[in-house]
Structure 1
Amino acid sequence: MASVKLELDTQNIIDSFFDETKLLGIVTTVKDYRFCWNLNNMLGLNFRINHDIEIKLVRKKRTYFFSVYEYREPHSALCHYLYNNLYDGEYLLPEFKNLDFLWLMKNDTVTEDYLDQIKIMLRSIPGVQLVTELTNEKIKNKEYLIF
């Protein structure tokens, strides 16, 4: 009897996850816990590490854990996720080796004005060197951001 190889089509899951999202790339000289502390104190946010959605990847016969910080805006469906792009010399998204963090906003509409305000506030944080908007088309490994 011939064996049948089944393949999981993840494209619909990926498309659904990234529907109406905004993504920022951030370069900073500050460690993740200090960066989140700055975000919370200087911008009035409440990012907290969420171990339940931590990204676990196996590469080169090693396991890597990429922390994800989460902030849910009160009285809104908008959720903010801050991904650490580097763990123990390995990158979550190797195509963005120059970025330290990825900030994903989803579950509600993010206007261009709101996004511009976030970028301006991020640039005011000590140690932040670059803030750039990323389009979904630029991300080669989108599935790594899905939890």
Structure 2
Amino acid sequence: MADKNFKLSINTYELAEEFFEDTRLLGIMAPIKDYQFCWQLNNLMDIDFRINIDIEIQLRRKNRNYYFSVYEYQDPTGTLCHYLYRNLFDGEYLLPEFKHLDFLWLMKNDIVADDYLKETIQALRSINGVQLVTELTNEKIKNKEHLIF
């Protein structure tokens, strides 16, 4: 007979570790609209970030739902996928430990070389409105599970 008190639980630690395998994450301070920022990225860096409503992040806080936009770009020459998260929605933060950051840029599914990352950071810093770009290491992120879609 099955135990009536048996409950399934998800190990979010293992899920987060697997999700963040072979990733690089940039934090960006750029107090501009997300669609304007993506337009500038797409034009300057010759990429094609598009909003993906299927992977939008929804968090429930203070008895209401908050929705964080996620833009996606798949590198056509390889397996590297780029995700740009909006860190702020209606006064709430996706990653509250980084309230000073407006966007989070996750590079996933392939190894990202240090040179490529440096070039990306330099290009981001040249965009009008960008005030700060920094790499975020996994150890600095307290709420990693918020980035998992």
Instruction: Tell me which interval the TM-score lies in, with the shorter structure as reference length.
Output: over 0.9
Q: Unmatched 5+ residue regions in structure 1? A: none
- 5+ long unaligned stretches in structure 2: none
Q: Quick one: distance in 2 between partners of 1:102 and 1:2? A: 42
Q: What is the correspondence of 1:3-82 to structure 2 with a 5 Å cutoff?
A: 3-82=5-84
CA distance in 1, matches of 2:100, 2:69: 18
Query: Does the residue aligned with 1:52 lie in a helix, a strand or coil?
Result: helix
Aligned sequence identity (%): 65
Displacement of 1:5 in angstroms is 4.3
Q: How far apart, in 2, do the equivalents of 1:58 and 1:108 lie?
A: 31
Tell me the number of residue pairs that the alignment of Structure 1 and Structure 2 aligns: 147
Partners of 2:81 and 2:8 in 1: how far apart? 34
Alignment RMSD: 1.2
CA-to-partner distance for each residue in 1:33-56, whole Å, 9 max, x for gaps? Answer: 000000001111100000000000
Distance (Å, rounded) in 1 between the aligned partners of 2:4 and 2:54? 40
CA deviation profile, 1:95-138 (whole Å, cap 9, x unmatched): 00000000000101100000000000000000000000000011
TM-score, structure 1 normalization: 0.96
3-state secondary structure, aligned to 1:128: coil
Cα deviations across residues 35-80 of structure 1 (Å, max 9, x unaligned)? 0000001111100000000000110001000000000011200000
| 1:132 paired residue among 131, 134, 143 | 134
Letter in 1 for 2:20: F
Alignment partners' CA distance in 2, 1:100 and 1:113: 24
